[in-house]
Amino acid sequence: MLEADLAVHGIESLSVRDVMHALANSARKLDPTDLGWDTNNGIPAHDIHYRYGFGAVDAFAAVSYVTDLNWRRVLSEREINSGMTDPDITIPAQGGIQSQTFTVPAGLTGNHLRVEHVELVLFASVLDFSDWGTTDMGNLRVILLGPDVNGQRTESRFAEFRDGETARTYNKFVFTSVRHWDESALGDWTVVLENNGDDPIFWHGYQIRIYGTPWCRGDFNADGLANTTDVNDFNAAYVDGDTGSDGKYTADYDNIPGLNSPGDQNAFLADWLACLGQ
């Protein structure tokens, strides 16, 4: 992929995230009769599987993806961060379930993202830290549900019940999922914790971090609208050299790494007009 991209575009322009996009969008579904396959709410929708991921790597399709003359490098990574929320609730023993929801509302700057990956930071522990308790983190199932689209929510099952695990706490442990790839960030993200142990578990806190790029490339501030504010914000970011969560310049819009004038300005303007339907 790297060699072919260099040969076709004349520059080494593939980032790690570019490669991830290429692989996710070119993978081949294998063992299709396996009942573990699901489809997420992405546009395009992706086949996903807990064991097979997005499927088998199709080398020819992956190379073809990055050598397409219309191929564009992925924009800088943006982040939606719920901040650490402290529910301070008890998850009862023997099947107790608790859930918490973080909502990403429409119409706000930075919220209209096309998702790449999602992180859940979890802080939970047994109520009694003495040695007599029988409950541990292996008795806790951890699930994240993405936004509802026509009655369907993509599930990321971070932790199943695991006999024999002796850990007594998730001390701000970070779980990561790519199962929501190419979904919209808008809507309710729900964390579900289920306890099948003999003792209660205390849910101290959680944080959801959603990473992606503006849903429409020309919507620079990712507020769901294409207007002159995007142009002003782009120009300011270009002058200031602002960077996204991945350290890449947010105003880097052309197919050449780094800020280039007038290439980035022209590429952004074309994307902005496309968002306007022109």
pLDDT > 60? residue 129:
no
For 141, the token pair is 């199932």
Task: Give residue-wise pLDDT tens across range 79-94.
Answer: 999 999 999 999 999 9
Contacts for 195 with CB less than 8 Å, ≥ 6 apart:
91, 92, 93, 94, 95, 96, 97, 135, 139, 140, 141, 201
* pTM reported for the whole predicted model: 0.95
Task: Give residue-wise pLDDT tens across range 139-181.
Answer: 999 999 999 999 999 999 999 999 888 888 999 999 999 999 9
Residue ranges matching CATH 2.60.120.260 in the chain: 78-213
pLDDT > 60? residue 131:
no
- Band (pLDDT 50/70/90 cuts) for residue 128 is low
Pairing status of strand 47-48 against strand 38-39:
antiparallel
Q: Which residue, among 21, 20, 24, 49, has the nearest Cα to 35 in the 3D structure?
A: 49
Q: Which CATH superfamily is domain 78-213 in?
A: Galactose-binding domain-like (2.60.120.260)
